[in-house]
Amino acid sequence: MSVFIDACRRKEAEYTPVWFMRQAGRYLPSYRSLKGSRNVLEIAKDPGLASEAVVGAVRELGVDAGIIFADIMLPLEGMGVKFRIEEDVGPVVSGPIRTPDDVSQLKDFDSRSDAVEVYEGIDETVRKLDGTPLIGFSGAPFTLAGYVVEGAPSRELERTKMMMYDDPDSWKALMGKLTSMVESYLDRQIKHGVDAVQLFDSWVGCLSPADYDRYVLPYTRKIIESIGGRVPTIHFCANSGPLIERFQSTKADVLSVDWRVAVDDVWRRCADRVGVQGNLDPVVAAVGGETMRRQTGDILQQAQIHRGHVFSLGHGVLKVTSPSNLKQLVNIVHEKTRSRK
Amino acid sequence: MSVFIDACRRKEAEYTPVWFMRQAGRYLPSYRSLKGSRNVLEIAKDPGLASEAVVGAVRELGVDAGIIFADIMLPLEGMGVKFRIEEDVGPVVSGPIRTPDDVSQLKDFDSRSDAVEVYEGIDETVRKLDGTPLIGFSGAPFTLAGYVVEGAPSRELERTKMMMYDDPDSWKALMGKLTSMVESYLDRQIKHGVDAVQLFDSWVGCLSPADYDRYVLPYTRKIIESIGGRVPTIHFCANSGPLIERFQSTKADVLSVDWRVAVDDVWRRCADRVGVQGNLDPVVAAVGGETMRRQTGDILQQAQIHRGHVFSLGHGVLKVTSPSNLKQLVNIVHEKTRSRK
């Protein structure tokens, strides 16, 4: 097995594994030349290019895992959602989903015919990675609901919350449909060979703990249950401080947190019964130098007495980041944690 | 004394006081007609209009405090920052402050000649309010730095953090100048008769606890110290969950928190040695009805065994809110808490 999977399973790992969200991204010259003028969806739907992007980043940075190249919105095409991905903005949905009618017209996702390019990309990536673990992923229902209800990236997700509070029947129907999609999308990814899955509930930190319990938790729990421990599950949320205990109760193996909450605080609040992924601020990785070295040292020191640390950034790599900073970061983490043994 | 000040001082209050951030705002027809085509700064600099806006909202809603009508950016004019306030966007700075030179060229704020319209507005508002307490306010140094460094509202404040990490001398100089400004701006507000002050460190929740300690806390502490208990101080931060204990250590009398953290959790973590302001989600106030009634009841129940609750929203009133919802909310809070005595 690999150090990455060992860490996800909270086994003794030889050293602390590292990978970065958006490690195959525009900060990387080799990715920019692969990308050319293509948009993200065109690459994601081309198994040759998608696998090349994943493997290129893994080899260049020396990280311990790759993540499939896809967009969080991609499987929604199969449900009939119309959208485009605008560079530097994000997904823009034409015809947002807001009324009971909008919700009832969403099609059921069919994993035999929808997002098939993603599964083909997984086949090809697994071959090329030659043993390095591959992480599959999906957006979580709340975060996907946020995109389709708002229609565009939004700071406070006001319309989404309004549907949640004001039209609970539509909310349940929408969350139910999205949950079914995520279950079958991840199931198919696992069957094609991903070694772990990460569920991105990136924006759910905008809810109160009580609302999270009422409107989101049952759906997330159902998804994790459907995976049934076949591969480790990683739950990601930006800004997750107040919800840590709730995320643990989803039974995810690993909680991926950002820099707003200290990693040792996560272990403490979860009585060490969870893996923790994170949590350097991506701005610090972009700044590099002494600040990066010091803050990385702090995180590793907090993690030292706990099992199940996957080092990562608290969010995706910033476009302005120099790849040499990330290579240095990988080396720092590997060297410092190897020498402890 | 008033119930509002009693609550801020954690004295037994006759009932739980209520006020709302942005209670004099565009959701309110009387404010819209007072505003006409004027921008926010024009109103803020006209003591007659500014006091009218404050008092109009207090009378219409039946709240227990008014807040001075000003913009967080206003005192920065005195320091030579050039900006405009764009409706539905926020402050846009022409010539953001990013280099050591930019910082050194910032002028010292002179409370005898800068923002004088605000102090005149306070005089007139105090007269018209006739005993209802008036809250003064200022942006806190970090949040103001965020605006002047980014140049426009930003989700992650990346440039601000880059200066903080990469150019600590400029950061210290900028924070020092902003701190001096806030001290003398608030001092002058207090001398003109405000009964409490609220410090808006709205965006500081984007920092890790360690970075907050290192780069922000000393400045905030210095400001609270400069007020020296003359009036109660309220510390506001959106998304403040992980930083609660730090905010308490600034010696602010009241922590204003949003819905992401439960109010009883704040009291628990601060051993009841703080007042708590909040924390209904403004979306819930916009939705109204049963959801608003239920969630308000939850907050009041959590607060029941603690002293020092000021009921409020977790953030400003949304433009889509019906004023009748807010009036109902004020009544619910007053009635439910009065009947307990």
Angle between helices B289-303 and A158-166 in degrees, nearest 10: 100
Question: Could you tell me if B291 lies within 8 Å of chain A, comparing CB atoms?
Answer: yes
d(CA A303, CA A73): 34
d(CA A41, CA A67): 15
- Quote the mean pLDDT of chain A: 96
Span A273-324, pLDDT tens digits: 999 999 999 999 999 999 999 999 999 999 999 999 999 999 999 999 999 9
d(CA A323, CA A313): 14
Question: Could you tell me if A155 lies within 8 Å of chain B, comparing CB atoms?
Answer: yes
Contact B24, B57 (CB under 8 A): yes
Task: Tell me the count of A-B CB pairs closer than 8 A.
Answer: 86
Strand order in the sheet with B134-139: B66-67, B134-139, B196-200, B233-236, B254-256, B275-280, B309-313
So what's the pLDDT on residue A89?
87
Residue A88 — very low, low, confident or very high, per pLDDT cuts 50/70/90?
confident
d(CA A76, CA A277): 27
d(CA B201, CA A157): 21
Q: Going by DSSP bridges, is the β-strand pair A134-139/A90-93 parallel, antiparallel, or unpaired?
A: unpaired
Do B165 and A206 lie within an 8 Å CB cutoff? no
Do A262 and B287 lie within an 8 Å CB cutoff? no
Least Cα separation, residue A89 to chain B (angstroms): 12
Residue of B nearest to A207 (CA): B260
Least Cα separation, residue B165 to chain A (angstroms): 7
Question: Could you tell me if A165 lies within 8 Å of chain B, comparing CB atoms?
Answer: yes
Please list the ranges in chain B whose pLDDT falls under 50: none
ipTM exceeding 0.90, yes/no: yes
Residue spans of alpha helices (H) in chain B: 3-8, 29-35, 40-44, 47-61, 100-104, 116-129, 141-150, 158-166, 168-191, 209-215, 217-227, 244-249, 263-269, 282-287, 289-303, 323-338
Contact B23, B338 (CB under 8 A): no
pLDDT above 60: residue A86: yes
- Residue B278: CA count within 13 A, CB half-sphere: 32
Least Cα separation, residue B157 to chain A (angstroms): 9
So what's the pLDDT on residue B341?
56
CATH number, span A3-338: 3.20.20.210
> Which residues from B are below 8 Å from A321, CB to CB?
none
* Portion of chain A with pLDDT greater than 90, in percent: 95
- pTM tops 0.90, yes or no: yes
For A172, residues 6+ apart whose C-beta sits below 8 A from its C-beta are none
**B263: nearest Cα among A290, B167, B254:** B254
Span A27-63, pLDDT tens digits: 999 999 999 999 999 999 999 999 999 999 999 999 9
Written as one letter, the residue type at B2 is: S
pLDDT above 60: residue A341: no
pLDDT above 60: residue A225: yes
Do A162 and B262 lie within an 8 Å CB cutoff? no
d(CA B34, CA A268): 53
Residue A87 — very low, low, confident or very high, per pLDDT cuts 50/70/90?
confident
DSSP state letter for B231: S
Do A260 and B318 lie within an 8 Å CB cutoff? no
Cα B58 from chain centre? 16
Do B209 and A262 lie within an 8 Å CB cutoff? yes
**A146: nearest Cα among A197, A211, A93:** A93
So what's the pLDDT on residue B155?
82
DSSP state letter for A133: -
